[in-house]
Amino acid sequence: MTTLGELGQRAKQASRALALARGEQKDAALLAAGELLVQRSQEILAANQADVDRAGAAGTPPSAIDRLRLNPARVESMAAGLRQVAGLADPVGEVVEGWVRPNGLRIEKVRVPLGVVAIVYENRPNVTSDAAGLCLKSGNAAFLRGSSGALASNQAISAALREGFAKAGLPEDSVVLVEGTSHESAREFMRLQGTIDCLIPRGGPSLVQAVLENATVPYVIDGDGNCHLYVDASADLDMAVALLVNGKTQRPSVCNATESLVVHAAVAPEFLPKAVDALAGVRLVGDEASRAISPSIGPATEEDWAKEYLDLVLSVRVVEDLDAAISHIQRYSSGHTEAIVTRDLGAAERFTREVDAAAVMVNASTRFTDGEQFGFGAEIGISTQKLHARGPMGLRELTTTKYVVTGTGQVRT
């Protein structure tokens, strides 16, 4: 049996060739892989059906089965994703900056691939294709560890991708899928020092904590979003209602959904009733001040303030002023996205400067923190950490830089 270390070495070897591949070759590989995904739809859907049947027999909840299930449209959408990535600009080789030193040394900071990018993910089989495509385009080998529940689907998808990449003359091992999925092997995976250049866990808090505790390889955390919308005293209240409804209800299960409403006391009596009406179907929990205004708001506990509901639930807090709003948000923010609705320039400036988050929005929905919405074309995740990448991670965030220094025999004195 192939060991995890050997699989990693295959990815490492492939990454050397990928780092030197031209853009046109990578794009041809992406298009070939997309074509094969569609041609192999039958096989992929059959493998997926086997995973879905196993999940059903094991009593997996319907929402999880829905994330696992593929259909012809979802396979086509994976292929479309690869075509879209082929159309993006190649990040590799970009000279990020360059200058000449007084002694004549010419210094260039050049964008290069990371090497082997490892992704640990849960039941969604489309991640196999999406992640492999972004890794390939950025010149990295993808070393993928999906869940055991999606193994047959992931195998069928990665087989098509490997064959497609090989058609364009790139190594099959540009995508390496790990097939053993025990907890023990997860720990071993996170400790492949010297093999994995960047690990991106895509999963819940327990996966993130396992990475923090066990990983000895470099990683980027794609964390939770406890996103607040603060409605300032000077807010356009109709705009605030629209942003709140969009942030909370447009897609409640995602990390950039609005989870908590903070309202300035001066406008709470007018705003909250409008908000409550507009949020019909959303369960509301709030502090005493909000409940005194609107009896349809239930009591919030301390836990509510920190909670990422990912559901049609919203916490509500009334604050005396901007300072109290910022303090509340600083205390409970997960550092993802925080928004203010205001017409007051000073309030907007203070909010954007003082609130510490990957993205701070003024008069816009929290739902905009997203690689596509930012114009990156696609994203591998959203970083809530401060090192390397913060916010939506596109192709550039899958690269590092190298200094190329050119001289004419300079020595240090």
Residues binding its own copies (CB under 8 A) = 16, 19-20, 99, 101, 105, 107, 112, 114-115, 193, 197-198, 212-213, 216, 218, 220, 236, 239, 242-243, 245-246, 250, 330, 348, 352-354, 356-365, 367-369, 373-375, 385-388, 390-391, 400-413
Instruction: Decide whether 70 or 221 has the Cβ nearer to its own copies.
Output: 221
Nearer residue to its own copies within complex by CB, 34 or 113:
113
Record the tokens describing residue 52, joined without a space. Answer: 């879905």
The minimum distance between CB 295 and its own copies, in angstroms, equals 28
Nearer to its own copies, 41 or 383 (CB): 383
Minimum distance from residue 159 beta carbon to its own copies (Å): 29
DSSP readout, 300-316?
PPHHHHH----SSEEEE
Nearer Cβ to its own copies, position 20 or 80?
Answer: 20
Taking Cα atoms as reference points, which of 277, 269, 266 lies closest to residue 242?
277
CB of residue 17 vs its own copies: minimum separation in angstroms? Answer: 11
Query: Please, what is the minimum distance in Å from the beta carbon of residue 225 to its own copies?
Result: 14
3-state secondary structure (DSSP) of residue 9: helix
Q: How far apart are CA 160 and CA 166, in angstroms?
A: 10
AA letter at 196: I
Q: Is 395 helix (H, G, I), strand (E, B) or coil?
A: coil
CB of 144 to its own copies, least distance (A): 19
**Measured from the CB of residue 107, what is the shortest distance to its own copies in angstroms?**
6
Tell me which residue of 260, 261, 259, 257 sits closest to 272, measured CA to CA. Answer: 261
Nearer to its own copies by Cβ, of 46 and 387: the residue is 387
Question: What phi and psi values does residue 400 have, to the nearest 5 degrees?
Answer: -125, -170
Whether 257 contacts 367, CB under 8 Å: yes
Q: Measured from the CB atom, is 80 or 402 closer to its own copies?
A: 402
CB of 362 to its own copies, least distance (A): 5
One-letter amino acid for residue 68 of the chain: L
DSSP 36-102: HHHHTHHHHHHHHHHHHHHHHHTT--HHHHHHH---HHHHHHHHHHHHHHHTSPP-TT-EEEEEE-T
Residue 104 Cβ vs its own copies, minimum distance, rounded to whole Å: 9
**Residue 398 backbone phi and psi in degrees, to 5:** -95, 15
Greatest extent of the chain over all pairs of C-alpha atoms, in Å: 78
Nearer to its own copies, 55 or 199 (CB): 199
Question: Which residue lies nearer to its own copies by CB, 183 or 403?
Answer: 403
Per DSSP, the three-state class of 142 is strand
How do beta strands 106-113 and 95-100 pair? Answer: antiparallel
Query: CB of 359: closest distance to its own copies in angstroms?
Result: 4
Task: Tell me the closest approach of the beta carbon of residue 36 to its own copies, in angstroms.
Answer: 30
Element (H, E) at 215: none
Q: Which is nearer to its own copies, 66 or 353 (CB)?
A: 353
The torsion angles phi and psi of 311, rounded to 5 degrees, stand at: -155, 175
Using a 10 angstrom Cβ sphere, with 0-12 exposed, 13-18 middle and 19 or more buried, the burial of residue 201 is: buried
Distance CA 131, CA 115 (A): 14
Complex with its own copies: residue 216 or 253, whichever CB lies closer: 216
d(CA 122, CA 202): 7
